[in-house]
A = this chain, B = another copy of it.
């Protein structure tokens, strides 16, 4: 791991940081290809929305870009994880009057996903954990991720690649670390994230791609029965791009033409 904290080479953070104490911060996981961050502006825009939601100060964009470039440039294929926290201090939960955002940037190797995840699709399951509905935190990628940790602990079978999570009204929301799309009778649908879930950058790319083709996408509530009746299912996130789903619990699915088309359009092969 190579890392910068506030622009300085470092891999240790003070234990008074609010990121550790309260999860008081945000993060982005970015895909680096040939030294460049894919969809950088979309990541920065989401981070900025997160800062607004948490009333945190977004760092100087040029400074952030320089730091990102310095870690991204030497990497042919990798992952940059950027954490922003509200910094140190404050008495208890109350933030300090003039908090200084901490920038933590880490470079990791790209995960060794098998090529067939993109080609043939992945097997997924439903998780038992239900996401709490919290509109104040919905959509943003904040550091309070215990629900995801608990959901990911529900299985060990390495053949199962992702878990789908529902909210407490039994609406299917997302994958643990991905967004969910289905195709029904040629219509693309993805869950509404107003109450919970993370609005992913690759989800946004898919929505934009569909709009560019003048094809409708329904952002809506989806039940398990909607999902099991789907013609195609796929997952998105910034690292994987688009993975078709070929099996969900006992249901099997074909990799469909719309999924393939979006993979090509968004250059989402592994």
Q: Note all chain B residues with C-beta closer than 8 A to A148.
A: 22, 93
Whether A5 sits at the interface, judged by CB under 8 Å, is: yes
Q: Does A134 contact B (CB under 8 A)?
A: yes
**Which one of A11-19, A61-69, A185-193, A241-249 contacts B?**
A11-19
Q: Are B27 and A21 in contact (CB under 8 A)?
A: yes
Contact (Cβ within 8 A) A15 B15? no
In the complex, what's the smallest C-beta–C-beta distance from A56 to chain B, in angstroms? Answer: 10
Known contacts A12-B13, A15-B104, A152-B93; A146 and B20 CB within 8 A of each other: no
Residues of B within 8 A of A21 (CB): 27, 83, 143, 145
Tell me the residues in window 147-167 of chain A with beta carbons closer than 8 Å to chain B beta carbons.
147-153
Report how far A15 CA is from B16 CA in the complex, Å: 13
A15 & B3 in contact (Cβ 8 Å cutoff) = yes
Tell me which of B1, B12, B144, B177 contacts A145 (CB under 8 A).
Answer: B144
Give the chain B neighbours of A18 by CB distance below 8 A. Answer: 149
User: In the complex, which of the residues B12, B143, B146 contacts A14, with contact meaning CB atoms closer than 8 Å?
Assistant: B12
For residue A24, which residues in chain B have a CB less than 8 angstroms away from its CB?
Answer: 145-146, 149
CA distance A147 to B3 in the complex (A): 29
Min C-beta distance of A20 to chain B, whole Å: 5
Taking a contact as CB atoms under 8 Å apart, the answer to whether A177 and B143 are in contact is no
Q: How many copies does the complex hold?
A: 2
Residues of B within 8 A of A134 (CB): 132, 147
Q: Which interface residue of A18, A86, A93, A151 has the most chain B CB atoms within 10 A? A: A93
Find out whether the CB atom of A146 lies under 8 angstroms from the CB atom of B15: no
A265 at the interface (CB under 8 A from B): no
- A129-B136, A152-B94 known; A145+B14 contact, CB < 8 A: no
Contact B5 A145 (CB under 8 A): no
Whole-angstrom CA separation of A52 from B212 in the bound complex: 49
- Chain B positions within 8 Å of A3 at CB level: 15
List 22 contacting pairs A-B, 8 Å CB cutoff, sorted by A: A1-B16, A12-B13, A13-B13, A13-B15, A15-B104, A15-B106, A17-B20, A18-B149, A20-B20, A21-B83, A22-B143, A22-B144, A22-B146, A22-B148, A24-B145, A55-B153, A91-B111, A93-B148, A94-B152, A94-B153, A132-B134, A134-B147
